[in-house]
Structure 1
Amino acid sequence: MSDQRERTFVMIKPDAFQRGLVSEIIGRFEDRGLKLVGAKVTRLSREQAEDHYGEHEDKPFFDDLVEFITSGPVVPMVWEGEDATRQVRQMIGATDPAEAAPGTIRGDYAVDLGRNVVHASDHEDEGANEREIALFFDDDELVEYDFHESTWLYE
């Protein structure tokens, strides 16, 4: 793999979990050729949620965000691949499902801005991946392994 290989954070939100979309969403990333290096099922504490959405603390929708993300199980994950953050952001689509293109995760599965099924680190926010990964995973929870499919994906 080239030096473009990176890790990116993704979280399946409570609405997608409750709707039984976990395998569909994970399958999309696997089909794309991304390598899953960390995943767990958990329910966020209020403190974790406030840390996660800290950049929105002063916005009027902050409390609603925290309430929603703590309302049920979530699946935080770390995916790896060349230019993974950009790839994932394109795959999930626009934050507002009404603006998300068909074929994207939000375009296919979400209908409401407040219930948009998945979160992914922003490729324009330097350090977001590292911060979010560290918030949800210890280093020993991320698995290094040979990903044989990569020989069929990258030159």
Structure 2
Amino acid sequence: MRDDLQQTLVLIKPDALKNSLTGYVLSQFSEFHTGLTFAGTKVVHVTRMLAEEHYAEHRGKVFFPALIEMITGHLHYPGEPDKQRVIAIVYKGPDVIRKVREICGPTNPHVARDEKPGCVRSLGTVVALKDAQGNIVGDRMDNLIHASATPEEAEREIKLWFRPDDIPPAIRAFPTVHSEACFYYKDGRLFENYEPGTVCVLAPGDVAWESDLNTLKAFAEGIPTDSSLQGVVAKYLLNRKVSLSW
């Protein structure tokens, strides 16, 4: 990959939006200061499907439910669906992953304040998680921002949150193909023909990440794959009314 096409995913989380820090965060990543540029950006109503795929490595941990409630906006905007959103950004440029994470600072906001005062996450906080009896069982880090940690993670996360059409063709970092078939989704299952209640994910002529299309074909043909169907489908259902309960 060309050095100037290196990309990473940044999420401005609901806690940052709640505290009106969007402008501040964007200013820290300005092209003038960092040499990085936008490849794609959008406002996302985060579905449970997308949230669980994004944090899949933490599934089963005590703080997993709190992570899902946080990234979907339910913790910071309870009962306000019009405010439950995340700003998703793809940045590109030389050494982009390291540069972005340097600006973000350590994951734990308390550590960030001690070790890197002035970084974005130094403005966050740590919230204790309690069980039904009031005992502290863990914590939730309201650290304002997410940034991919490795090139492999960046590719997975960009493909999870962004469709190819969300990014201009000249600056897409990963291979794309045109679908030659229809794929529909409903209740955790993939269909190749329309059935009542299904939602179209891809139609002939639609542009898809090559890896996504390979995954859909594997599911359609019953071929075992380590890839997640929901990990492919989630982004195609974003900001669509049908996806709000998924």
TM category, shorter: 0.7 to 0.9
Structure 2 counterpart of 1:111, one-letter code: T
The range that moved more, 48-57 or 136-145, is: 136-145
Contact 2:97 2:149 in 1 (8 A): yes
Over the matched positions of the two proteins, sequence identity in percent amounts to 38
- 8 Å CA contact 2:25–2:120 kept in 1: the answer is yes
How many residue pairs get aligned? The number is 142
Greater length-normalized contact order (CA 8 Å, ≥ 6 residues apart): 1
- 1:116 equivalent in structure 2: 143
Work out whether 1:98 is the aligned partner of 2:110. yes
Verify the 8 A CA contact 1:9 1:129 in the aligned structure 2. yes
* Alignment partners' CA distance in 1, 2:42 and 2:58: 25
Deviation digits for residues 95-137 of structure 1, max 9, x if unmatched? 1011111121112x212252110001112xx521111101111
Deviates more, 1:17-26 or 1:75-84: 17-26
1:28 match: 28
Which residue is equivalent to 1:12?
12
> Counterpart of 2:13 in structure 1: which amino acid?
K
Gaps of 5+ in 1: 147-155
**Letter aligned with residue 130 of structure 1:** E
**Which piece of structure 1 moves more, 23-32 or 76-85?**
23-32
Q: 1:66 aligns with which of 68, 81, 85?
A: 68
Is 1:81–2:83 an aligned residue pair? no
The separation in 2 between residues aligned to 1:19 and 1:144, in whole angstroms, is 34
User: Aligned partners of 1:86 and 1:5: how far apart in 2?
Assistant: 14
Whole-Å Cα distance in 2 between the matches of residues 133 and 22 of structure 1?
20
Alignment partners' CA distance in 2, 1:143 and 1:5: 12
Alignment root-mean-square deviation, CA: 1.8
Aligned partner letter, 1:114: M
Runs of 4+ in 1 over 2 A off after TM superposition: 2-5, 111-114, 143-146
- Secondary structure of the 2:85 match is coil
The structure 2 residue matched to 1:133, chosen from 158, 161, 169, is 158
Structure with max Cα Rg:
2
1:143 is displaced (CA, Å) by 2.8
CA contact (8 A) 2:51 2:68 kept: yes
Structure whose residues are more often strand by fraction: 2
- Give the structure 1 partner of residue 41 of structure 2: 39
Query: Which ranges in structure 2 are unaligned for 5 or more consecutive residues?
Result: 74-83, 127-139, 172-246
Task: Give the deviation of 1:142 after TM superposition.
Answer: 1.1
Amino acid at match of 2:38: L
Distance 1:114 1:43 in 2: 21
Deviation at 1:33, TM superposition (A): 2.0
Q: Distance in 2 between matches of 1:9 and 1:20?
A: 21
